[in-house]
Structure 1
Amino acid sequence: MRKLDLEYKIIGEGRGVLVIETGIGGSFYDWYPIVEKLKEHFTIVLYHRAGYGKSQNPSTPRTTKNIANELNCLLEAIGIKEKFILMGHSFGGLCVQQYAKMYPHKLKSIVLLDSTSFNFKSLYMLDIPVMKEFIAINKMVESNINSSKKSKEELKKQNQNIISAYNNRISEEDMVAVEEFFTSHMLHKTIAQEFENWDTDSKDIKDMREFPQIPLIVVARDIDLAIKEWIDYDIPEKEAVLYENQWRRLQRELSEVSEKSKFIIAQGSGHEVYLDRPDLIINSLNIIIS
């Protein structure tokens, strides 16, 4: 494979190596607050997948298989030789599941934060017509393709709430990078491609070898809070309850792939567990290193 040019940061000098895989459309700048609390105990590797931030444009289809391979190439290039903890959020968790099956010998343990499941399709088999319209993958693809055709000024306006949320959390220099990140046409093209491959990704992960029997922590969001958030988006309560109960079942199923697993419910947290309950993640990582 030819040399990759992926944007990455190494923060901290702790004895354990922690590699973080962000969610779909997510920037590693989101993780700065929790990384600040972890850097004494861990050497943390943050990176942007191809098509994200200052990383190169994708040269292969945006499958979890290719993403896992590219992450592995990056880690080899920057000299990560010891076994490490791999933590993934949402779609990043699906990428982590793929990596674990491809490179089990390189991992010390895994942390999945409200991760997309390899059986995510079961969510679309529920009797939730309004919700299905809201979460339809083809709509996500279409929306991001449309965004990729907008001007940078239009993208800045579209993502203003996301960008402004970083104020006072990161440096002025990083704020410039955040604005560039969310106004990138390539970002939205890449997100569309990642969504397009979800179905084949999940099949590929299921068809591969067994999950490695290494320590695994699965953190799931708060059902009651998630239901309330769906209702705020005008999703009928009955549908929100059905969806969230199935999401929880899928999280429990993820925790069952390893006999060395721990299942944790993040009370008071929505999907962004690393922002809502950083204390829980820090405690989970301390369990691993102790």
Structure 2
Amino acid sequence: MVIEIVKEYEISMNMMFGLNYKVFGSSKTLLVVDCALGSCSAEWWHIAEELSRQYKVLLYDRAGYGHSKFSVTERNPENIVTELKQLIDYVRANEKLILIGHSQGGYNVSQYAVKYKSEVDGLILLDPATPYDGEFKNRLSAKEFKKSGVDKTELLKLQKQLAHIGIIKLFKGALKKQQPLCYYEYSKQAEKYIIQSLCNENTYQTAIDEYLCTHNDKNTLDLKNAINNAALGMTPVMLLTHSSEIYINELMKYTHIDLETANKIETVWQELMYRYKNISNNTKHITANQSGHFIHLTDLELLKTCIERMALM
């Protein structure tokens, strides 16, 4: 069940190292959120507002998203983690550090935790992108793979072109019916911020660059090795994955594939995400039975419970 935050609130974002960010609340525990591919911080504003009653929360737009500056440096996980490290060091004041990553953000915070293991007190992964996506090509037929939507490059290139010529701006009503706006009734400020980001050509170029970098073998090796060797030791990790039933229905709705193909894709997807369990010897796997891919928007109570448990560890 989504918690409604009915009051309108102003979000005054700040800029540091070219990154647009906002700190909510004050606490001995700092939660840092890294968003999905192509997403911006406004998707999480209402959640950060809710969590700030107990925790200090850092939201930010990765370079190229939202109001953060477009970066000319390669959008590989190493560079993204380095940028996030600078920002965390700037806002952190000896608080306990818990990283939360959704989808592509899950990949990023996992890489961060491996690189800066001694600084991270916990990791919460929401349907994380994995370094094993190449396996979809090996386990699906060429026709199934093309229909699956796993390879996002062609769609992102089309969206970039539409943004470049301004056509996307003409379909703001349609954007409100798409992810993530379809899952939550956002404040006017948040909705405006999200739509502006979705109409920005830089959003799609950045997403293309990030996607290609995290599907390049040279960039995935470190995380694969970390997962294979339990590199995080006893660092607490909570792996939250979607309901297969809900996700399969969403997959058929948004990609128009048949049930048999959707089931096949979902089987691979769950297996690849489940491998993250091996990144630590202290991992708990939880299925979000009420949720598809956007777990934080469709079951905030589950996320809050996981954060509460981890904060006590």
TM-score (norm 2): 0.84
2:153 is matched with which residue? 138
**1:216–1:258: 8 Å Cα contact kept in structure 2?**
yes
Residues 195-210 of structure 1 aligned to structure 2 (within 5 Å): 195-200=211-216, 201-207=219-225
What is the percent sequence identity of the aligned residues? 23
Corresponding position: 1:227 with 2:259: no
- The count of aligned residue pairs is 285
Q: 1:94-131 CA distances to partner (integer Å, 9 max, x unpaired)? A: 11121112111110100000001121221222224444
CA, structure 1 residues 15+192, in 2 after alignment: closer, same or farther (shift >3 Å)? Answer: same
Among residues 234, 239, 262, which one is paired with 1:240 in the alignment? 262
Q: 1:39-84 CA distances to partner (integer Å, 9 max, x unpaired)? A: 1111000000011111111131111110000000111223444340
CA, structure 1 residues 149+169, in 2 after alignment: closer, same or farther (shift >3 Å)? Answer: closer
Q: Which moved more, 1:85-94 or 1:233-242?
A: 233-242
Q: 1:125-148 CA distances to partner (integer Å, 9 max, x unpaired)? A: 222444411322432443244245
In the alignment, the residues of structure 1 paired with residue 195 and residue 258 of structure 2 have an alpha-carbon distance, to the nearest angstrom, of 35
**1:90–1:113: 8 Å Cα contact kept in structure 2?**
yes
Shift of 1:261: 0.8
**2:230–2:280: 8 Å Cα contact kept in structure 1?**
no
Shift of 1:178: 3.1
Q: Which moved more, 1:85-94 or 1:69-78?
A: 69-78
Q: CA RMSD in A?
A: 2.2
**Corresponding letter in the other structure for 2:296:** Y
In the alignment, the residues of structure 2 paired with residue 157 and residue 105 of structure 1 have an alpha-carbon distance, to the nearest angstrom, of 48
**2:45–2:190: 8 Å Cα contact kept in structure 1?**
no
1:185 is matched with which residue? 201
Shift of 1:92: 0.7
In the alignment, the residues of structure 1 paired with residue 130 and residue 205 of structure 2 have an alpha-carbon distance, to the nearest angstrom, of 23
**1:8–1:47: 8 Å Cα contact kept in structure 2?**
yes
**1:93–1:112: 8 Å Cα contact kept in structure 2?**
yes
In the alignment, the residues of structure 2 paired with residue 73 and residue 234 of structure 1 have an alpha-carbon distance, to the nearest angstrom, of 42
Among residues 284, 287, 290, which one is paired with 2:309 in the alignment? 287
Contiguous gaps of at least 5 residues in structure 1: none
Residues 233-272 of structure 1 aligned to structure 2 (within 5 Å): 233-272=255-294
In the alignment, the residues of structure 2 paired with residue 173 and residue 242 of structure 1 have an alpha-carbon distance, to the nearest angstrom, of 39
In the alignment, the residues of structure 1 paired with residue 106 and residue 172 of structure 2 have an alpha-carbon distance, to the nearest angstrom, of 24
Q: 1:7-43 CA distances to partner (integer Å, 9 max, x unpaired)? A: 0011122331000000011121111232232111110
TM-score (norm 1): 0.90
Among residues 97, 107, 111, which one is paired with 2:120 in the alignment? 107
In the alignment, the residues of structure 2 paired with residue 157 and residue 80 of structure 1 have an alpha-carbon distance, to the nearest angstrom, of 44
**Corresponding letter in the other structure for 2:224:** K
**2:277–2:285: 8 Å Cα contact kept in structure 1?**
yes
CA, structure 1 residues 173+227, in 2 after alignment: closer, same or farther (shift >3 Å)? Answer: closer
In the alignment, the residues of structure 2 paired with residue 239 and residue 80 of structure 1 have an alpha-carbon distance, to the nearest angstrom, of 49
1:276 is matched with which residue? 298
Corresponding position: 1:53 with 2:66: yes
SS at match of 1:263: strand
SS at match of 1:51: coil
Corresponding position: 1:149 with 2:198: no
1:211 is matched with which residue? 231
2:103 is matched with which residue? 90
In the alignment, the residues of structure 2 paired with residue 104 and residue 150 of structure 1 have an alpha-carbon distance, to the nearest angstrom, of 44
CA, structure 1 residues 35+194, in 2 after alignment: closer, same or farther (shift >3 Å)? Answer: same
Shift of 1:159: 4.9
Contiguous gaps of at least 5 residues in structure 2: 1-15
